[in-house]
Amino acid sequence: MIEIRKANNEDQSEILKIYNETTLHLLKRKIKQWDYPWDAENIQKEIKKNEAYVVLLNRTLVGAFCISPIKKLSTITIDPEGVYLSKIAILPKFQGKNLGSEVVQFACSFARQQNLALYLDCWAGNEKLKEFYSDNSLEYIGDFPEEDYFISIFKHQ
């Protein structure tokens, strides 16, 4: 059984493990989605702001993500009334079980209930993730510069 809920302080160490393990898995595949290691203090801040969520499968914490108010994404200004879905991480051994789609659908429903647009992004070189987003009814907006690389931005209205 899949459950998605807001993260709490007791989840912090598990969330940190999930992000670090997922990031190492991506780096081994030469996907530069995130920096390693993750900062526990940033995760704590997201939990305090009620922006962090966890994914449980049969009561086991297997994933995490954030939904936050949007101000600016990359060098383009996006609808300030939107929300930003970020940091979707599913432990590698639980990937391929439709959990990522559950997260995207949860976030789309969250945004729809509040009458907001939902945005998300990924490293422009991550073709598999870009295909996943498109397959989950997200509209590709374009590629935009971000520091020393490009990000692909997607939207759900």
The reported pLDDT for the residue numbered 70 is 82
| 123 pLDDT above the threshold of 90 | no
What mean pLDDT is predicted for residues 125-153? 91
Residue 79's pLDDT is what? 64
Report the alpha-carbon distance of residue 111 to residue 118 in Å, rounded.
6
Q: What is the mean pLDDT of residues 81-108?
A: 95
CA–CA separation, 112 vs 120, rounded Å? 15
Q: Which CATH topology does 2-156 take?
A: Aminopeptidase (3.40.630)
What's the average model confidence in pLDDT over 112-131? 91
pTM of the model: 0.91
pLDDT category, 51, cuts 50, 70, 90?
A: very high
Closest CA to 53 of 103, 93, 118, 96: 103
Residue 31 banded pLDDT, cuts 50, 70, 90: confident
The residue among 128, 115, 124 whose CA lies nearest residue 156 is 115
The token pair at 130 is: 């870009």
Specify the pairing of strand 149-156 against strand 83-90. unpaired
